[in-house]
Amino acid sequence: MRTPIRVRELTDDEAETVKRWAHSRTEPARRVERAKLVWLSHEGRLVPAIARELQLAPKTVRMWLKRFNAHGLAGFEDAARSGRPATYTVDQVGEVVATALTNPQSLDLPFASWTLDRLEAYLNETKGIAIKRSRIDEILLAEGLRWRKQETWFGERVDPEFAEKRGSSPGSTRNHRPKAS
């Protein structure tokens, strides 16, 4: 038969924190649940009773009690998990952001603002970073940068000779008569 697992003696600070977390409505749900099971054990309840009350497996209750006994309040946090390694290094992501914030004309490029296609081509060809435009957009959004869809919308035109190149308005555009007052 297993020896009953109980929580170790809590310090005053630990007891105060665990009680506050166990009754909290603003802490993350995982932390509240873990604090509740530690608090119930502190009050003298056994693992099967705690598991029934919190609707957890007894094995889960034992695991969290052991982790708390070994690590204290830090034991409430999730352990690091393995996952897919990052596709781009921190330096590459930094290069994408720095390039996007750089004026293309300062790099001797023939345009005045970036588009995702231009940025992708520049990073692939010049910087040697094999990256797609969708990933560039994700990186910029993650950094809090919003991408403009148009080269210009308000203010000064990118091309100073735009009006001459455009020509006059088409004759099919009607002039609106002023309304009578």
In this model, does residue 153 exceed pLDDT 50? no
Please check whether residue 100 is in contact with residue 145, taking contact to mean a CB–CB distance below 8 angstroms.
Answer: yes
Domain 12-76: top CATH class: mainly alpha
Are the CB atoms for 51 and 58 separated by under 8 Å?
Answer: yes
Whole-model pTM? 0.48
DSSP state of 94: H
Q: Which conformational region is residue 55 in: left (phi greater than 0), alpha (psi within -120 to 50 degrees), or beta?
A: left
List pLDDT tens digits, range 42-72.
999 999 999 999 999 999 999 999 999 999 9
Contact 166, 154 (CB under 8 A): no
Can you read off the two tokens belonging to residue 42? 């502190």
Tokens 């932390």 belong to residue: 31
In sequence order, what are the residues at sequence separation of 6 or more whose Cβ sits closer than 8 angstroms to the Cβ of residue 93?
139
Whether residue 38 is predicted with pLDDT greater than 90 in this model: the reply is yes
Domain chopping of the chain, boundaries:
12-76, 90-152
Question: CB neighbours (10 Å) of residue 50?
Answer: 23
Tell me what pLDDT residue 165 has: 73
Residue length of the chain: 181
pLDDT digits (tens, 9 = 90+) for 79-120: 888 888 888 999 999 999 999 999 999 999 988 888 899 999
Q: Span 7-15, mean pLDDT?
A: 91
Look at residue 3 in the predicted model and tell me its pLDDT.
74
